[in-house]
A and B are shown apart, each in its own frame.
Chain A
Amino acid sequence: MLQAIADGILSGSIIALGAIGLTLTMGILRFANFAHAELVTWGAYMALGVLSLTGAFMGPLAPFSFGVPLLMATLVAMVATALLALAIDWLVYHPLRGRANHLTLVFGSFGVSLLVRMVILLLFGGAAQYYSNTLQIAMKVAPGLRIMPDQIFTLGLTAVIVVALHLFLQKTRLGLSMRALAENPELARVNGIDTRHVVRWTWIIGASLASIAGVLYGLTVQLRPEIGFHLLLPLFAAAILGGVGNVFGAVIGGLIVGLAESISVLFIPAGYKLAVPFMILLLVLYIRPTGIFAGTVGGGKS
């Protein structure tokens, strides 16, 4: 049980990082981006690509399984993922915005997700890959609970990012514009907020966080082209559970989904674990479509 909770918090924090970007794009750009989870995959593989290109493995920083190269690779991956997101917005979403049926955008994202996943498959192959072959010994923290240092790193990093993002949204002008746009787009525009500027930064922030989530996923689980496909439902469940547009809600939602998935294995066959986010989603939609923290757009028709 203790182990399941620890594992749940770990995968929950990765889901949370991905869900933050999803909730921001859903809140500000007002469409469900089915390609968001593929940004997670893309980020993870870009970091792998950088690692294999530089090859200069300087040795891990004890006690972690990775070293400075992975941290550098992550920074490159964040840039590469942000660029991909901006390119997709420019090439696909921009021409589709403002069409009669706004679901056309959702559908475009459907096509984009296929393209990104298959390009990764073409470039890197379908087999599972790892950032390093160093075997990490799990530390025994308590009876029945083993944790790897990488996992502690993942948790710590997520906490730092969430706090930083919170400060950004509360204290900076850009953050304020983003919140305003999520809250009430018409009012924000009337007040002279440069929508395009905010949209651009929404993509950059969302994609960067997605790529970090990808690297952490690759670090603690493994890299596969299907990472994004498997994360899509947990990400949506987390974003909707926390209230669309609500960053803090997405984090809590991510943790709840991660915990539920992990604890469910104690009660139902592990094969059904992937269906847990769907059950949470249906439950939320039936009982409280606005999410726990009543997101800005919530479930109401807009």
Chain B
Amino acid sequence: MTGFAAYLVFFLIVALTYSIVVMGLNIQWGYTGLFNAGVVGFFAIGAYGTAILVGPDRAHLIGGFGLPFPIAVLGGMALCALAALIVGLATLRLREEYLAIATFGIAISIQLVALNFESLTGGAQGLVGLPRPLFGLFDSPASYNLFYLGVVAVMAGLVYWALETAVRSPWGRLLKAVREDETAARSLGRNPARVRLEVFVLGCVLMGLAGGLYVGFIGYVSPLDFLPILTFQIWAMLIVGGSGNNRGAIVGAVGVWALWAMSGLAISRLLPVAYQSQGGAIQVILIGLLIVLTLIFRPRGLIGEAESVSKHAD
């Protein structure tokens, strides 16, 4: 493969991994109106959970269970569910903002654990040398990456299919009902708090799945992969693509990640070395502007939510 094709494969693996996170956020925000401000925290729990379960035995570290990759990913997802339950039970019966604040808090706390609990997470160095699933079967890294792109694409496709099926089911209509008019939903005998909790846990578990896939691809975890900016990037992907629409979530993930990668490239080419740290700031400013301007001028995003009208309406 030429350099460009190899880069494209690499780019798509990361973009599709993020698209799973964005779809998880979409079921929370787009369909149910839950504001998760700690996306990166759940992504990190999935990644670290997977890394600890899949990693080889190391004398100075807790963990090293050497479990098969799929089981390790499931373990990471289970940890995400637990964290989501703890936060959700405390906040989902309160005003919506409280969920935003609490999830923001859990992301910060996860980052602190990643940095400070060295015997579990490897601290600032992270956990390196994690086995990549089925790596031995391939003769070159390039062909392995192509295989992994297939894995991530299939997983993203499965998540898309499952979510589409879910939101078209009666349960899916219930989500929008809770988002639009909670009182009406309650008067029909539904329990909005319970629905919110279900959706919140489901979305966070998907973020954890993406974290696990990310670990399988890069083969290590380090706190630097889970900086708070990722939460903003994921949000920008959802808003730009169009919340309330799973295709929009995927389009937004690929589009915004492309914009991020290209602006980073442009800045590293154009700016003198002395100003490179400022270049990072410009990249983040682009994300901030993207968020604010889309909200003001195109709140529905690129694709946007489909109008849902009852078939009994005229």
Contacts and interface: CB of A to CB of B under 8 A. Distances in A.
Interface of A: 26, 31-32, 34, 92, 95-96, 99, 101-104, 106-108, 110-112, 114-115, 118-119, 121-122, 125-126, 229, 232-233, 236, 240, 269, 271-272, 274-275, 277-278, 281-282, 285-286, 289, 297, 299-302
Interface of B: 33, 35, 37, 86-87, 89-91, 94-98, 100-102, 104-106, 108-109, 112-113, 115-116, 179, 182, 228-229, 232, 235, 239, 277-278, 281-282, 284-285, 287-289, 291-292, 295-296, 299
Top-3 shortest CB links A-B: A278-B105, A111-B291, A271-B116
A112 B284 CA distance: 11
A103 B96 contact: yes
Given A101-B33, A111-B292, A122-B282, A278 B94 contact: no
A121 B116 CA distance: 26
A41 to B, nearest CB: 14
B108 A107 contact: no
17 contacts: A92-B296, A101-B33, A104-B295, A104-B299, A107-B295, A114-B229, A114-B287, A115-B288, A115-B289, A271-B112, A272-B116, A274-B112, A275-B112, A278-B102, A282-B86, A286-B89, A301-B95
Contacts of B86: 282
Given A272-B112, A299-B98, A302-B95, A282 B105 contact: yes
A269 B116 contact: yes
Contacts of B104: 34, 232-233, 236
A101 B239 CA distance: 14
A118 B289 contact: no
A300 B95 CA distance: 6
Given A122-B281, A285-B90, A286-B90, A107 B235 contact: yes
Contacts of A99: 299
B287 to A, nearest CB: 6
A278 B108 contact: yes
Given A107-B35, A114-B232, A272-B112, A32 B101 contact: yes
Contact of A110 (B33, B235, B289): B235
Contact of B285 (A115, A229, A285): A115
A300 B96 CA distance: 10
Contacts of A240: 98, 101
Contact of B284 (A114, A126, A236, A285): A114
Contacts of B98: 240, 285, 289, 299
B292 A92 contact: yes
A110 B277 contact: no
Nearest to A116: B288
Nearest to A122: B281
A104 to B, nearest CB: 6
A32 B91 CA distance: 14
Contacts of B292: 92, 108, 111-112, 115
Contacts of A272: 112-113, 116
Contacts of B182: 301
Given A96-B295, A103-B35, A302-B95, A281 B105 contact: yes
